[in-house]
Amino acid sequence: MEIIEKHASFGGWQEVYKHHSEVLKCSMKFAIYIPPHEKDEKLPVIYWLSGLTCNEQNFITKAGAQKYAAENKVIIVAPDTSPRGESISDDEAYDLGQGAGFYVNATQEPWSENYKMYDYIVDELRAIIDSNFPTNKVQSIMGHSAGGHGALVIGLRNPDIYKSISAFSPIVAPSQVPWGEKAFTAYLGKDQALWSDYDAVELIKSSSVKMPILVDQGSEDSFLKEQLKPEILADVCREKDYPVTLNMRDGYDHSYYFIASFIENHIKFHTSYLIN
């Protein structure tokens, strides 16, 4: 593991590392903010998953989260969104291939060789973080857009690992919207029965464990009606009596201006479950 950035921030350190991923079979980067803490103190972790076209830089440079992570004494880890490199399969479109891993384990060629972002986030990256940084191995997960989809799916499928889930503008029902249909067909194949493992709405329908979930969605989001459809999540949670908090934020769009406006709320939400 190689450190490639280190910046003092609110008494702590914003760092970026590069490492070889055995799961993805390529070099990967992740960002980590470590708040000020005592020498032997162990801290909880919040994982942030970014959306389409993003990498490990978007969140750490635009969300303004370091201040609130320092105040609440939580580590925040922000990985890249897909495998990267000249030998890694890609697509000319922004919503498939590099920068668009969708946090699934691909089963279809040519993607299945490298696109195992689900396993990378849940297993490999978490092990790296716990082995190299002052964590207490207690974590929650959050994300934005396609990363919000990833956070919901990973959290819902692993209630024994994550304490809470939150998302900004998530793709809640990827099996029912163009972004998800395109990515799932490419990565998982045409059998839609296999898509349900990566669809938050379908996972909630079959869930026996109720996890705390916070979702913020902007009313002026240009992707709201075609790609995000939070009403589908609201409906299924109502039917299943599932405890989700869905905030429709009047006037806000899909950008990091929106995320920066409410990131403090999300960090405090997770902290309430991470620190008992």
For the chain, the residue count is 276
Write out pLDDT tens, residues 180-235. Answer: 999 999 999 999 999 999 999 999 999 989 999 999 999 999 999 999 999 999 99
Q: Are 228 and 169 in contact (CB under 8 A)?
A: yes
Domain total of the chain? 1
* The one catalytic residue among 21, 82, 145, 169: 145
The pLDDT score that the predictor gives to residue 104 is 98
Residue 71's domain is classified under what CATH number? 3.40.50.1820
pLDDT band of residue 98 (cuts 50, 70, 90) is very high
Judge whether 208 counts as a catalytic residue.
no
The pLDDT score that the predictor gives to residue 208 is 87
Give the domain range for residue 21: 2-273
Q: Are 70 and 35 in contact (CB under 8 A)?
A: yes
Is the dihedral angle over the CA atoms 81, 212, 255, 45 positive or is it negative? negative
* The one catalytic residue among 144, 149, 254, 266: 254
* pLDDT above 80: residue 24: yes
Judge whether 169 counts as a catalytic residue.
no
Mean pLDDT of 86-115: 97
* pLDDT above 80: residue 66: yes
87 exposure class (CB count in 10 Å sphere: 0-12, 13-18, 19+): exposed
* The one catalytic residue among 95, 199, 216, 221: 221
Q: Output b/e per residue, 133-150; b: 16+ Cβ within 10 A.
A: bbbeebbbbbbbbbbbbb
Q: Output b/e per residue, 12-29; b: 16+ Cβ within 10 A.
A: bbbbbbeeebebbebebb
* pLDDT above 80: residue 255: yes
Judge whether 145 counts as a catalytic residue.
yes
Q: Which amino acid is at 167?
A: A
Task: Outline where 55-143 has alpha helix (H).
Answer: 57-62, 66-72, 117-119, 126-132
pLDDT band of residue 46 (cuts 50, 70, 90) is very high
Residue entry with tokens 């799961």: 23
Write out pLDDT tens, residues 110-149. Answer: 999 999 999 999 999 999 999 999 999 999 999 999 999 9
* pLDDT above 80: residue 276: no
Considering the chain, what is the average pLDDT of its residues?
A: 97
